[in-house]
Amino acid sequence: MQTHFKAVLAVACTLAASPAHAQRTNSVDLTVNNVGISIGDSRRVVGLRLNYRDRDLREVTGVNATVWMPYEDSRGDVRGLALGLPATGGRRVDGIAVGIVGIGAREGLRGIAIGGVGMGVGDDMKGVALGGIGMGVGQDLKGLAAGGIGLGIGNDLTGLGVGGIGLGIGRDLHGIVLGGIGAGIGGDMTGLAVGGLGIGTGGSGKGVLIGGLGAGVGQDFTGLSITRPWDWRPVPCKRIDDHGRRARPKTQW
């Protein structure tokens, strides 16, 4: 009798605990040892994970498809493909990130990223990034980045940066920048910088500066600076031959 009572009590405790456990589980998992398919806000998955908006995510290796950006307190990392329908992101993304509207990576992004409207990376970005309207990188960018309207980089750019209207770099440039209307570099510049109307660097420069109306350098510059290229004209100069006679003018650019 006592044994029977203990068995009944154990079953009752299990049933009583089940609702609480169900409340803590925010996903339906078709997985074995976290490998398989998960639907909902699961913590760890190797395979395919589908969710509306991430909060509890810790790590996905494979495909993470979401409807919207993660919550601010989310600490999830994505290794593989982050797919936004229409937006996605994570603490860190290593691999490929595609968002119809946008992509957000709070700490860093490494790989290839395409945001239909825009993209934001809190720390460093390494790889190729394209933002339909614009994109911003909080720290350093190494690779290629383009924003349809603008591109902003908090620290250094090493590689190629393109802003449809404008581009700004907080510190140094090592590479090429192209700004449709203008571009600004807060520190030193080494490479090629082009601004449709103007280009400016706060520090020193080495390379080529091209500004439609003007170019400015805060310190020393070594290289070629070109402004108002449409006003260039051939300048004839006088030349004297070896016998002291005036020779035919030679055109000099």
How does the average pLDDT of the chain come out, rounded?
84
pLDDT for the residue 213: 86
- pLDDT category at 231 given cuts 50, 70, 90 is low
- Whether 60 has a pLDDT exceeding 50, the answer reads yes
Instruction: State phi, psi for 173 to the nearest 5 degrees.
Output: -115, 130
Q: Which of 63-67, 143-147, 233-237 shows the lowest mean pLDDT across its residues?
A: 233-237
Between 37 and 245, residue with greater pLDDT: 37
**Mean pLDDT to the nearest integer, 229-235:** 54
Q: Is the model's pLDDT at 235 over the cut of 80?
A: no
pLDDT at 169: 97
In the predicted structure, residue 16 carries a pLDDT above the cut 50? no
Degrees, nearest 5: CA angle 134-88-45: 150
- pLDDT tens per residue across span 171-202: 999 999 999 999 999 999 999 999 989 999 99
Place of tokens 């494979």: 62
Query: Would you state the structure tokens that stand for residue 190, as one six-digit string?
Result: 């080494």
| Confidence grade of residue 249 (pLDDT, cut at 50, 70, 90) | very low
Domain residue ranges of the chain, discontinuous segments joined by +: 24-139, 163-253
* More confident position, 137 or 8: 137
- Mean pLDDT computed over 124-135: 94
For the segment 35-51, the average pLDDT, to the nearest whole number, is 96
Query: Which residue type occupies 173?
Result: L
- Cα-based torsion angle of the residue sequence 149, 153, 156, 162 in order, rounded to the nearest 10 degrees: -10
